[in-house]
Amino acid sequence: MADLYTTITKNPFGKAVTSQLGLPQPSRLRRGRLMPTGPVVLGAIKGASVAADALEVLGQAHEQALVDAPGSRTEDENGRAQPPAYPGKVGALIVDASSATEIADLEQVRALVRPALKALEPSARLIIVGADVAADQGVEHSAITQALEGITRSLGKEMRKGGTANLVRIQRGVTGAALASTLSFLLEGRSAYVSGQPIVVGASESVCEVVNRPLEGQIVVVTGAARGIGAGIAETLARDGASIVAVDIPAAGDALAKVTNNLGGTALQLDITGPEAGQRIAEHVASRFGQQAKIYGIVHNAGITRDKLLANTDEQRWGSVLDVNLAAQLRINDVLLTPGLPGGLTDGGRIVGVASTSGIAGNRGQTNYAASKAGVIGVVHSLSGELNDREITVNAVAPGFIETEMTGKIPAATREFARRFNSVQQGGLPVDVAEAIGYFLDPASQAVSGQVLRVCGQSQIGA
Ligand SMILES: NC(=O)c1ccc[n+]([C@@H]2O[C@H](COP(=O)([O-])OP(=O)(O)OC[C@H]3O[C@@H](n4cnc5c(N)ncnc54)[C@H](O)[C@@H]3O)[C@@H](O)[C@H]2O)c1
């Protein structure tokens, strides 16, 4: 769906009028596997080194961050103390606060962030790395963990020109190698529509290198792939090297064929609510790729809405949404996880769900949809622990307002509100959701499981 307002702000007359009226000026976001143009600068607190190690693993050069401290300030023409200034534009600032244990350490976060804020280039990145502290590690340390989230969420709202701020929480024993895929995702344009979010990285011994086509040779099943976000997922994962099995209902067969013809993937016309759906997917994979073939990843993207206030919601509207959006994926997972099943899910593989900010915050007229999407989050929490031994990671994305046919049906005024009411003042694109899913699927993200990542431009709804 076209965002007419953003198009208007991009011509000189429209820009002049909308600026005069104090209306939002959405920036063009840096997208794709693109690093910032300006330097990546790094500031570490109390000798923390894991972020520097991760940048070294990525082969990414960095500069030392400036620090705002009494001795480092200059004065402006009115004699007011100013923080030290960067000579040019900064592409990204990483603050490694993983060694912060006391409230006083938070002053160092302020001192590192302040000089950078006015020097950031458009679509710049601010990344804070903190420890993921268990409750038994002391009350002050635990408070710091949460305080860093407060700082990050606020900074996301202070960023300008498409910039984002995110927090990476590392568990005990996380190495630079385990952190690398998350830093790479957050620095690149792949995370254009992710802001104000925490991501937890666990310790993992079997971490692969971060490469450009991480899914080369891997079979990935994407449900609901005929259009919208699903088609975007299929396209982006194919760019990353995956062999796509694109699933959608028979009525969407033509659109599905178009998607797979463009990608060289295979199409499977299938209603995922059918009792044999899991078996049909496994048989398709075994017959197309061979009896030894295994699925590396499944993305449960197919979804429907049947919006009504609960007072007007009948059994059919309720049941159909819960069946497509939640129950079907449980049945499919059960079948594909059967050990030894030809065309089943491999150990070391990936399951990714598509939830929604409605599943986090609730939404008027969407009790059925919110129930199903909150249920997807419950699946992540339960299954990620259960499949740890098989090294299968389980994560979900929770999109906010994404420009698709589904959101094109929202009444105009509500649609415009949802589109602008976020930190980057625009709707997301299917590719933004797809990139976050690609990050979860990446073999280098082995240490990332049990996460629900909002892809919503830091929407104020459900914040
Ligand atoms: N668009 C958004 O803003 C937004 C926000 C949050 C979450 N989501 C979620 O993202 C996913 C994709 O959304 P979209 O906007 O691209 O929707 P869409 O309606 O454009 O596409 C959904 C696809 O799923 C397919 N599908 C529906 N029922 C199916 C079934 N029983 N079997 C197989 N395929 C089936 C449809 O045919 C369609 O191709 C959904 O799960 C949706 O709930 C979307």
Predicted local confidence at residue 21, as pLDDT = 64
Give the integer Cα–Cα distance in Å for 451 and 446: 12
Q: What is the CATH number of the domain that holds 247?
A: 3.40.50.720
405 and 207 Cβ atoms separated by less than 8 Å = no
Residue nearest to atom 20 of ligand 1 (CA): 228
Residue 273 included in any domain: yes
| Tens of pLDDT, residues 339-388 | 999 999 999 999 999 999 999 999 999 999 999 999 999 999 999 999 99
CA–centroid distance for 162 within its chain: 16
CA 181 / ligand 1 centre spacing (Å): 28
Six-digit token pair at 54?
């991760």
Residue 463 included in any domain: no
Element holding 181 (H helix, E strand): helix 176-187
Same domain assignment for residues 330 and 436 = yes
| 19: pLDDT strictly greater than 80 | no
Task: Judge if the beta carbon of residue 457 lies within 6 A of ligand 1.
Answer: no
Same domain assignment for residues 451 and 396 = yes
Predicted local confidence at residue 17, as pLDDT = 67
Given ligand 1 and candidates 259, 260, 270, 304, which is best to mutate, with the most ligand atoms within 8 Å of its CB?
A: 304
CA 352 / ligand 1 centre spacing (Å): 14
Residue 462 included in any domain: no
| 10: pLDDT strictly greater than 50 | yes
Minimum-distance ligand 1 atom for the alpha carbon of 224 = 24
Mean of all residue pLDDT scores within the chain: 94
415 vs 110, higher pLDDT: 110
263 and 238 Cβ atoms separated by less than 8 Å = yes
| Tens of pLDDT, residues 314-337 | 999 999 999 999 999 999 999 999
| Tens of pLDDT, residues 433-448 | 999 999 999 999 999 9
Residue 401 included in any domain: yes
| Tens of pLDDT, residues 377-424 | 999 999 999 999 999 999 999 999 999 988 888 888 888 888 989 999
326 and 375 Cβ atoms separated by less than 8 Å = yes
User: Region 115-130: what's the mean pLDDT?
Assistant: 98
Question: Domain end: 145, 173, 201, which one?
Answer: 201
User: Region 47-54: what's the mean pLDDT?
Assistant: 97
Residue nearest to atom 12 of ligand 1 (CA): 229
Give the integer Cα–Cα distance in Å for 168 and 178: 12
Task: Judge if the beta carbon of residue 459 lies within 6 A of ligand 1.
Answer: no
Question: Domain end: 152, 172, 201, which one?
Answer: 201
Residue 42 included in any domain: yes
Residue 21 included in any domain: no
| 205: pLDDT strictly greater than 80 | no
Predicted local confidence at residue 234, as pLDDT = 98
For a pLDDT cut of 70, what percent of the chain falls above it?
A: 97
| 204: pLDDT strictly greater than 90 | no
Same domain assignment for residues 98 and 175 = yes
| 463: pLDDT strictly greater than 80 | no
207 vs 23, higher pLDDT: 207
Cβ within 8 Å of residue 186, ≥6 positions away? 125, 127, 164, 166, 168, 194, 199
CA 214 / ligand 1 centre spacing (Å): 26
Same domain assignment for residues 189 and 225 = no
Cβ within 8 Å of residue 16, ≥6 positions away? none
Give the integer Cα–Cα distance in Å for 167 and 169: 6
| 135: pLDDT strictly greater than 90 | no
Residue 116 included in any domain: yes
For a pLDDT cut of 90, what percent of the chain falls above it?
A: 86
Q: Is 438 exposed, middle or buried (0-12, 13-18, 19+ CB in 10 A)?
A: buried
Instruction: Count other C-beta atoms under 10 Å from residue 206's C-beta.
Output: 10
Same domain assignment for residues 242 and 162 = no
367 and 323 Cβ atoms separated by less than 8 Å = no
Predicted local confidence at residue 18, as pLDDT = 64
| Tens of pLDDT, residues 162-201 | 999 999 999 999 999 999 999 999 999 999 999 999 999 9
3-state secondary structure of 32: strand
User: Region 4-11: what's the mean pLDDT?
Assistant: 78
Same domain assignment for residues 148 and 116 = yes
| Tens of pLDDT, residues 277-313 | 999 999 999 999 999 999 999 999 999 999 999 999 9
Give the integer Cα–Cα distance in Å for 277 and 284: 11
CA–centroid distance for 68 within its chain: 32
Confidence of residue 136 (pLDDT cuts 50, 70, 90): confident
Confidence of residue 2 (pLDDT cuts 50, 70, 90): low
Residue 460 included in any domain: no
434 and 27 Cβ atoms separated by less than 8 Å = no
- In 308-451, DSSP assigns E strands to 345-354, 393-399
Domain count along the chain: 2
449 and 440 Cβ atoms separated by less than 8 Å = no
The pTM for the full model equals 0.96
Predicted local confidence at residue 67, as pLDDT = 97
Same domain assignment for residues 159 and 242 = no
Task: Judge if the beta carbon of residue 406 lies within 6 A of ligand 1.
Answer: yes
Q: Phi and psi (nearest 5°) for 454?
A: -75, 130
| 462: pLDDT strictly greater than 80 | no
Task: Judge if the beta carbon of residue 356 lies within 6 A of ligand 1.
Answer: yes
Question: Domain end: 201, 234, 263, which one?
Answer: 201
| Tens of pLDDT, residues 55-84 | 999 999 999 999 999 999 999 889 899 999
CA 294 / ligand 1 centre spacing (Å): 25
Predicted local confidence at residue 25, as pLDDT = 77
Same domain assignment for residues 232 and 123 = no
| 151: pLDDT strictly greater than 90 | yes
Nearest to 384 by CA among 396, 394, 398, 374: 394
Predicted local confidence at residue 1, as pLDDT = 56
Show the domain range for 429: 219-455
CA 233 / ligand 1 centre spacing (Å): 12
Task: Judge if the beta carbon of residue 431 lies within 6 A of ligand 1.
Answer: no
Same domain assignment for residues 157 and 245 = no
Minimum-distance ligand 1 atom for the alpha carbon of 354 = 41
Same domain assignment for residues 182 and 325 = no
Give the integer Cα–Cα distance in Å for 326 and 194: 24
Minimum-distance ligand 1 atom for the alpha carbon of 357 = 6
Give the integer Cα–Cα distance in Å for 116 and 92: 9
**β-strands 345-354, 393-399 pairing:** parallel
Same domain assignment for residues 257 and 285 = yes
Same domain assignment for residues 178 and 278 = no
Q: What is the dihedral of CA 435, 384, 295, 223, to 10 degrees?
A: -60
What is the helix, strand, coil percentage profile of the chain, to 5? 40, 20, 40
Task: Judge if the beta carbon of residue 405 lies within 6 A of ligand 1.
Answer: yes
Beginning with the edge strand found earlier in the chain, give each strand of the sheet holding 452-455 in spatial order: 266-269, 243-248, 219-223, 295-300, 345-354, 393-399, 452-455
